[in-house]
């Protein structure tokens, strides 16, 4: 599932198309469109110049024009979505749901499972409405706000970090990596964290998010928990203890029973 690091990679893809003029928009599967007729995208965007993309959490906004940037396309990536920049002559992929043809190349929204889709936003209020349902972006939140937003109610730490209304952008892989690096058990109650725990959680969260955003994914490096979570009898890269897994908050969760004691 695309998380903040993946969407940051998609933002860089879109940034490479900033300044290009939209020649046409082909919605090849109307099921991915949330709030408009498929033909409405072409009518709204044709002839407009793409602006600089904006990301918040797992959302990506593709604005147009030199003013406030509307109309704009809002991209949700669901479980399997991605954004690619291709040459105009590249063969179509069966999961290319929307193709934006530019004066040079194309942007393609590709999604196998079609769980959420895209929306056409005609004014700033639409973008603000989307943001109002989300917490601060995980890459920008500071320690005090992190503690305030997660510590308001007694919840397991894994569930609290995955709650997009608390902190936007964190997904399953990112949260497991952060908690492993912070030496915190995913079932730890947020109300049980002390000042050193919050400091360590904040530092590790920003470190993991920054490194992953540069890579465009949570990288499966040998020194990372992510590099071992899918191994049979995988071992902790820090202490070599066999890793434990279970389902928490509906997600497969991996942790080290030695480094992350309950």
C-alpha dihedral sign at 236, 239, 242, 243: negative
Is residue 73 within 8 A of residue 118, CB to CB? The reply is: yes
Catalytic residues, which ones?
2-3, 58, 251
Is residue 191 within 8 A of residue 152, CB to CB? The reply is: no
Separation CA 13–CA 109 (nearest Å): 11
Q: How far is CA 108 from the centre of its chain?
A: 18
Is residue 138 within 8 A of residue 170, CB to CB? The reply is: yes
Separation CA 119–CA 130 (nearest Å): 11
Alpha carbons within 13 A on the beta-carbon side of 96: 16
Is residue 156 within 8 A of residue 175, CB to CB? The reply is: no
Separation CA 115–CA 31 (nearest Å): 9
Identify which of 198, 190, 158, 187 has the alpha carbon closest to the alpha carbon of residue 174: 158
């Amino acid at each position: 599932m695309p998380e903040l690091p993946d969407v940051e990679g998609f933002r860089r893809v879109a940034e490479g198309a900033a300044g290009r003029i939209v020649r046409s928009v082909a919605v090849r599967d109307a099921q991915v469109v949330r709030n408009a007729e498929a033909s409405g995208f072409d009518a709204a965007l044709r002839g407009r110049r793409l602006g600089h993309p904006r990301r918040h959490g797992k959302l990506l906004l593709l604005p147009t024009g030199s003013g406030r940037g509307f109309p704009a396309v809002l991209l949700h990536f669901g479980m399997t979505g991605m954004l690619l920049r291709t040459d105009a002559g590249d063969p179509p992929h069966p999961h290319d749901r929307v193709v934006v043809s530019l004066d040079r190349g194309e942007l393609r929204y590709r999604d196998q499972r079609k769980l959420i889709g895209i929306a056409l936003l005609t004014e700033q209020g639409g973008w603000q409405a989307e943001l109002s349902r989300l917490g601060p972006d995980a890459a920008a939140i500071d320690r005090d706000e992190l503690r305030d937003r997660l510590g308001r109610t007694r919840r397991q730490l894994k569930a609290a970090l995955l709650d997009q209304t608390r902190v936007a952008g964190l997904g399953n892989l990112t949260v497991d990596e952060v908690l492993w690096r912070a030496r915190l058990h995913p079932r730890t109650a947020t109300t049980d964290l002390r000042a050193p725990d919050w400091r360590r959680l904040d530092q590790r969260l920003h470190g993991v998010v920054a490194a992953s955003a540069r890579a465009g994914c949570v990288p499966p490096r040998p020194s990372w928990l992510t590099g071992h979570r899918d191994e049979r009898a995988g071992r902790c890269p820090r202490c070599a203890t066999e890793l434990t897994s279970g389902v928490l908050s509906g997600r497969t969760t991996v942790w080290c029973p030695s480094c992350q004691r309950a």
